[in-house]
Amino acid sequence: MEISATQVKDLREKTGAGMMDCKKALSETQGDFEKAVEFLRKKGIASAAKKAGRATKEGAVTSYIHGEGKVGVLVEINCETDFVARTDQFRTFTKDVAMHIAAAMPQWVRPDEVPADIIAKEKEIAVAQMQASGKPAAVLEKIAEGKVKKFYEDTCLMNQVFVKDSTKTIEQLLKEAIAALGENISVRRFARFQLGEGMKESAGEAQG
């Protein structure tokens, strides 16, 4: 059945869950509002959203080394208490995120970290590619927005599909961890190193 924007908005206000989670919940429950709320609570999404504003000052810096030392990742993931930071479940989550970063090569944690000039350039390229099609400007703008969304899915950690489970994104994995551990958790930053990366450029600069 068709789910309206108003239904999604109302559910989001009630639960604090994200738009896509609300839309999925309504679709799964054939538009039944109360069942959709229950669906989100069972998934832990509603409770995770409500914890999102709480301070995260504890946590861990986790490392992951892949390919016999060819790729290395450091990631800082924060939680509310040292108690949770020491749990096996939190450590497993941080390891999974570090492993994912090694495999999927994100450039930023979330879309709001992407510089505005890079997004503007992506939109410009998308519009330029489609201008010859003769489509109206409004259609070109929608296509450009779709290209930017795909860009986020390729380059932003939170928007990427989890390499160990293609049914969820890293953001959804994070929400599940928040629901399971009962605390707000946030991925603060990461660094990914690949053996030999950038060496040619450095050599060229040294000679110049």
For the segment 29-68, what is each residue's pLDDT rounded down to a tens digit?
Answer: 888 888 888 887 776 665 566 666 677 789 999 999 998 8
* 143 and 72, same domain (yes or no): no
Q: Which residues contact 152 (CB under 8 A, 6 or more apart)?
A: 111, 114, 159
* 38 and 139, same domain (yes or no): no
pLDDT at 180: 85
Instruction: Kindly state the average pLDDT of the residues 3-25.
Output: 80
* 89 and 160, same domain (yes or no): yes
41: its two tokens: 């609570």
* 37 and 126, same domain (yes or no): no
Residue 147 lies in a domain: yes
Residue 207 lies in a domain: no
* 43 and 125, same domain (yes or no): no
pLDDT at 202: 44
CATH number reported for the structural domain that contains residue 62 in this entry: 3.30.479.20
* 98 and 33, same domain (yes or no): no
Q: How many whole angstroms separate alpha carbon 174 and alpha carbon 49? A: 11
Residue 25 lies in a domain: yes
Q: Which residues contact 43 (CB under 8 A, 6 or more apart)?
A: 21, 25, 176, 179
Q: Which domain holds residue 33?
A: 5-51
* 62 and 96, same domain (yes or no): yes
User: Is 192:184 a contact under the CB 8 Å cutoff?
Assistant: no
pLDDT at 206: 43
* 32 and 123, same domain (yes or no): no
* 104 and 63, same domain (yes or no): yes
Q: How many whole angstroms separate alpha carbon 90 and alpha carbon 185? A: 9
User: Is 66:36 a contact under the CB 8 Å cutoff?
Assistant: no
CATH number reported for the structural domain that contains residue 140 in this entry: 1.10.286
* 41 and 119, same domain (yes or no): no
Q: Assign 203 a pLDDT band (cuts: 50, 70, 90).
A: very low
Residue, of 27 and 50, whose pLDDT is higher: 27
Give, rounded to a whole angstrom, the gap between the first and last alpha carbons of the chain.
64
Residue 186 lies in a domain: yes
Lowest-confidence pick of 44-53, 117-126, 132-141, 161-170: 44-53
- Give the chain's domain count: 3
* 46 and 120, same domain (yes or no): no
What is the reported pTM? Answer: 0.69
pLDDT digits (tens, 9 = 90+) for 142-183: 888 888 899 999 999 999 999 999 999 999 999 989 888 888
* 64 and 119, same domain (yes or no): no
pLDDT digits (tens, 9 = 90+) for 74-115: 999 999 999 999 999 999 999 999 999 999 999 999 999 999
Residue 98 lies in a domain: yes
pLDDT at 171: 93
